[in-house]
Amino acid sequence: MEKPSNLLVKFSQRLFKDEVYQEKFINALVNPQPFNPAILWCQAQPEISPFKLAPPTLWQPNFIERLVLDEKPGKHPLHDAGNFYCLDFSSIFAASTLLTIEQPVDLILDMCASPGGKSVFAWTALQPRLLISNEVIGKRKGALISNLKRCHISPAIALSLDSQVLAELIPNTAQLVLVDAPCTGQSLLAKGSKAPGCFHPILINKNANRQKRILANSAKLVAPQGYLAYMTCAYSPEENEQVSEWFLAKFPQFQALVVPHLVAAQSHLTDIPCYRMWPHSGLGAGAFTILFKNMEEGSMSELPTEFLERSDFIYL
């Protein structure tokens, strides 16, 4: 076993009291193992899968398939044709809170959308009248647009606006706002990638503050009785449970909802209903997810015509 850094050891001790779990967590990061690939069927799904399948989880929706380790779905012709989207099972776990949302959903806004996996999941699961996929980082917008086009996601709008600008332009309009928040990316280590400084307190706090800003702006977009789905691929409580607790204190009109199929994955780091996939679970590199509902009564605002007709948007 590769020797873990002192920061990682201390970090594991904050997450787990049990030394056995500390060791499992550390080992998953310093000696990463491959995870089963997964696909999301967003278009016509064959009656018989062209892939060898791994056993599904009990809650796995019918448009998701877990594949055996040696499958390479990204090289299949149906991938290029846009029939499915490849994504890791941690992302599926995080987005699965959307499966509890009552349909119909008219408008979904994905705040931090690139490369597009959560947008495709939300569109497939809820079939909104309109999907708005936003990516504020310009150099990441191309991948988002490419994936939405390839997967034939329509009607949809791809754009690049700061969350504060969106909150000012179209408040109270979305029945679901999805925030897959920028984070330290600690779970990249479980995939064998690098994430320099991801356990340093300064970087963790910087990301937590950025997440709070995005969530605060996103809250203004959620219509009465609408939903706000928050998720990250970080492990630190400061970026997850503590941000969620801050949000509920800041916006008391929101309530964290119990997601029945994820109750076994309830985070042990807080009493509010939120859910964790740990890298030593064997299913994926890790994720945090929570679903909020705006409990206010009232009417949803309509999207302004001038917003829908902006020339800097990509219409799909």
CA–CA distance from 313 to each of 34, 108, 133, 159 (Å)?
A: 38, 16, 10, 5
Question: Mapped to the 3 state alphabet, what secondary structure does 84-142 carry?
Answer: EEEECHHHHHHHHHHHHCCCCCCEEEECCCCCCHHHHHHHHHHCCCEEEEECCCHHHHH
Q: How far apart are CA 134 and CA 109, in angstroms?
A: 7
pLDDT at 4: 85
What pLDDT is stored for residue 195 in this prediction? 84
Q: CB of 218 within 8 A of CB of 171?
A: no
Position 3 scores a pLDDT of: 81
Residues linked to residue 38 through DSSP beta bridges, in sequence order: 66, 87
Give the pairing type, strands 314-315 and 156-159.
antiparallel
Which two structure tokens, joined as six digits, stand for 165? 């600008």
Query: pLDDT per residue over 28-37, tens digit each?
Result: 999 999 999 9
pLDDT at 229: 98
pLDDT tens sequence for the chain (316 residues): 568 888 999 999 999 999 999 999 999 999 999 999 999 999 989 999 999 999 999 999 999 999 999 999 999 999 999 999 999 999 999 999 999 998 789 999 999 999 999 999 999 999 999 999 999 998 899 999 999 999 999 999 999 999 999 999 999 999 999 999 999 999 999 999 988 889 999 999 999 999 999 999 999 999 999 999 999 999 999 999 999 999 999 999 999 999 999 999 999 999 999 999 999 999 999 999 999 999 999 999 999 999 999 999 999 9
Task: Give Dmax over CA atoms of the chain in angstroms.
Answer: 59
Per residue in 239-273, pLDDT tens?
A: 999 999 999 999 999 999 999 999 999 999 999 99
Q: What was the pLDDT predicted at 2?
A: 67
Q: E strands along 233-283, which residues?
A: 254-256, 275-277
pTM of the predicted model as reported, rounded to 2 decimal places: 0.95
